Amino acid sequence: MPHHPATPPHAPQLLDRLDATALDALAGGVVFSDAELTDVDLAGQRAKDVAFEGCALTRVELAGARVDDLRLRDCVVRASNLANLRARRAALRSVAFERCRITGVILQQARLEDVSFAGCRIDLASFGGARLERVGFSDCQLMQSDFLEARLDSVTFTDCDLSGVDIREAVLRRCELRRSTLADLVGVERLRGAALEWEDVVALADVWAAALGIAVLDRD
């Protein structure tokens, strides 16, 4: 079966000059545009329908916040803490996450387009029912995260730890996994539609056999 290479995500488009914005707390229905937010503490905040457009967020604290229907477009998020952020139905487009802690994030029913994650910790996260298109994970830790019933198109995992990741009922199209750890992957049969390097295919021989119901004989 021919493999069609994944399409890489487009980079965020930021303005050359960003105006600093003072932000004490999130407020529903607010749009923050062309702002640079640095060392802002929003941990535990509750809001809905908040948007960031053309923003650079550095060392922003969003741990434990709940922001349903969150929207980010043309943003860069650096060295920020999004652990246990609940952002159901979020819409992320042209966003780059760099060296962020995203443990336990809930992005169920979210839509991610042209999004990149580099050097991020995204373990115990939930992408259940989400749609990911042109999304790249590089040097990320995704242990025990789930993509239950998610749709992944042109999603790449490079040098990532996917140990214990759950992809049951997920649909993968033009996805690529390179030099990534796949131990204890749940729903391995859903990798149909993905491309792996030959070494990874061989290393998972016992997993493929189990998924196909093939018994492995001992040597005489």
Does residue 3 sit within a domain? no
Does residue 220 sit within a domain? no
> pLDDT (tens digit, 9 = 90+) per residue, 151-207?
999 999 999 999 999 999 999 999 999 999 988 889 888 888 788 888 877 777 776
> pLDDT (tens digit, 9 = 90+) per residue, 80-105?
999 999 999 999 999 999 999 999 99
- pLDDT score, position 59: 95
Does residue 60 sit within a domain? yes
Is 70 exceeded by the pLDDT of residue 10? Answer: no
Cα 159 to its chain centre, rounded Å, is 14
CATH of residue 35's domain is 2.160.20.80
φ, ψ for residue 207, nearest 5 deg = -70, -45
Enclosing domain of residue 84: 19-212
Does residue 72 sit within a domain? yes
Does residue 172 sit within a domain? yes
Number of domains, the chain: 1
- pLDDT score, position 22: 41
Does residue 174 sit within a domain? yes
SS3 29: coil
Reported residue count of the chain is 220
Does residue 122 sit within a domain? yes
What integer best gives the mean pLDDT of the chain?
87
